[in-house]
């Protein structure tokens, strides 16, 4: 489901790789739509799946550390479009945040950080296009 959010978000930005048209060429509606889809809805769905459902399934058959690493690696692979080095950073940050969320006993921390990072990225992309 997260892929649907990202695909819709990318196409509503009005910019595909190699194109010069950016979000400033689109109406404010598309900016706010992206802010909602990529900044809020996407992180919630991704954290619910990767850090919630997938982690719990993996944690049934292996240690919490292995389940954390596998779910973080699969999350990173799903975002490979960002480039390998960028995704290593995201995997590290995601693993640290999820470790905190695991210790605290909920996904609130990882969802909060994911939302913050995505909103920041949408904003940065919008001012640089």
Res 56: pLDDT: 92
Q: List the chain domain ranges.
A: 2-127
Res 25: pLDDT: 54
Tokens standing for 68? 């954390």
Task: Decide if 46 contacts 117 (C-beta within 8 A).
Answer: no
Task: Decide if 39 contacts 119 (C-beta within 8 A).
Answer: yes
Please give the chain's pLDDT, 129 residues, in tens.
444 444 444 444 444 444 445 554 567 787 888 889 888 999 899 889 988 899 999 999 999 889 988 988 888 888 776 666 777 777 787 777 777 777 887 888 888 888 888 888 888 877 776
Q: How many whole angstroms separate alpha carbon 32 and alpha carbon 122?
A: 10
- Residue 17 has what DSSP assignment? T
Q: How many whole angstroms separate alpha carbon 76 and alpha carbon 96?
A: 14
């Amino acid at each position: 489901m997260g892929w649907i959010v990202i695909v819709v978000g990318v196409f509503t930005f009005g910019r595909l790789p190699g194109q010069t048209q950016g979000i400033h060429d689109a109406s404010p509606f598309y900016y706010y739509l992206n802010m909602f889809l990529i900044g809020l809805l996407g992180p919630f769905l991704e954290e619910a799946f990767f850090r919630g459902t997938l982690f719990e399934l993996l944690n049934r058959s292996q240690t919490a550390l292995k389940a954390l690493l596998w779910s973080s690696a699969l999350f990173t692979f799903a975002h490979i479009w960002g480039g390998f080095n960028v995704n290593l950073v995201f995997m590290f940050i995601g693993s640290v945040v999820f470790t905190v969320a695991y210790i605290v006993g909920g996904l609130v921390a990882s969802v909060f950080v994911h939302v913050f990072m995505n909103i920041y990225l949408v904003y940065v992309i919008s001012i640089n296009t």
